[in-house]
Amino acid sequence: MPSEGEEDYIPWIQQYCDLFGHDYFVQVSQDFIEDDFNLTGLSSQVPYYREALYTILDYQVETAEDHSNDTNNNNNNSNNNNSNSIHNDSRSGSSNKRNPSELPNKALLSHSAELLYGLIHARYIVSKQGLTAMASKFERNDFGSCPRFFCDGMHLIPVGSTDVPGQETVRLFCPCCNDIYIPSSSRYLNIDGAFFGTTFPGLLVKMFPEIENQCRIRINKFSQNDFGLKLFGFKINELSATGPRMKWLRMHPKTEEEKQEYDSCEYNVPVNSLDEDEEMDDEEEEDDDEEEEEVDDDDDKTMASE
């Protein structure tokens, strides 16, 4: 039967995800962390990488504080031993001990473990298992709702503006208006955006088409009620300093032709642009041919005059 200490023990990952302000995180499975392929390239980004990894996996790691405590205990116990036993113990244990200067202190080890777990978390949530876990949190609205009125409370998705840690904190992406918002609570402003990455929101929307269906329902619901600022019944010019901005970001196809064109685009780039480029190339070739013909005519005229 398990002892009382084993029953009260809480894994490091669970403790980290249960901390105040860490509601956005999911618990990464230990199998994912133990796979070296999933950790490729992280050793160069995290100081004391091996010790941080052992901390996440709940292995015992020696710190500088532990070494100093052991040294003090050995000094206290040395008074009870004779000189010969002290000499033998020091010779037998010296080969297994690390240099104290190479050991991390507890604060640095804790920071490295949090950084490493965040980078692993960014890779985990783009896997099948991680996407499923984050989709459950999205469905429960754990990330909050879009503050925009026309989005009708669309659930938000955490996102980072960069994959490099230490650049910017986490932001929230709305798949309905395609805009990014700052978390409403300040407790989330200390979470690094790289712990979620730039790929996750787009992959989540594509993997779960019902998210796009929810956005489409909201867009059709308010498409006939486009709001615009007015002064005494007149709309404000878009070129004005107080005029509307970024309206193109929320434009959606309305006619059947626009919808067909939108569906035929792989990256939302109009197909007609390719035809226009081909037409431009054809026109340039025709202009070059006409110029060559004019040059030949001029040469013939000069030869005839001579």
Q: Name the token pair of 164.
A: 């490099």
Q: What are the tens digits of pLDDT across the range 70-94?
A: 555 555 555 555 444 444 444 443 3
Residues 214 and 241 in one domain: no
Confidence of residue 161 (pLDDT cuts 50, 70, 90): very high
Per-residue confidence (pLDDT) for residue 273, from 0 to 100: 52
Residue 48: CATH number of its domain: 1.10.1820.10
Residues 218 and 236 in one domain: no
DSSP per-residue codes, 22-51:
-TT--PPPHHHHH-GGGGTT-TTTSTTHHH
* Number of structural domains the chain divides into: 3
The answer to whether the CB of 68 falls within 8 A of the CB of 105 is no
Ranges 38-42, 60-64, 148-152, 266-270, most confident: 38-42
Is 63 inside a domain boundary?
yes
Residues 186 and 105 in one domain: no
Residue 184: CATH number of its domain: 2.20.25.20
Confidence of residue 297 (pLDDT cuts 50, 70, 90): low
Q: What are the tens digits of pLDDT across the range 230-283?
A: 778 787 776 777 666 666 666 667 777 877 776 777 555 555 555 555 566 666
Is 68 inside a domain boundary?
yes
List of residues 6+ apart from 86 with CB closer than 8 A: 78
Residues 238 and 217 in one domain: no
Boundaries of domain holding 145: 141-222
Residues 29 and 107 in one domain: yes
C-alpha 26 chain-centroid distance: 14
Residues 112 and 172 in one domain: no
Per-residue confidence (pLDDT) for residue 128, from 0 to 100: 94
Is 129 inside a domain boundary?
no
Residues 40 and 114 in one domain: yes
Residues 174 and 213 in one domain: yes
Measured between alpha carbons, how far is 50 from 43 in angstroms, rounded to an integer? Answer: 8
Q: Name the token pair of 18.
A: 């249960």
Is 88 inside a domain boundary?
no
Is 276 inside a domain boundary?
no
Q: Which of 167, 199, 222 is the last residue of a domain?
A: 222
Residues 117 and 180 in one domain: no
Residues 215 and 191 in one domain: yes
Global pTM value: 0.67
Residues 36 and 117 in one domain: yes
Q: Which of 64, 91, 121 is the last residue of a domain?
A: 121
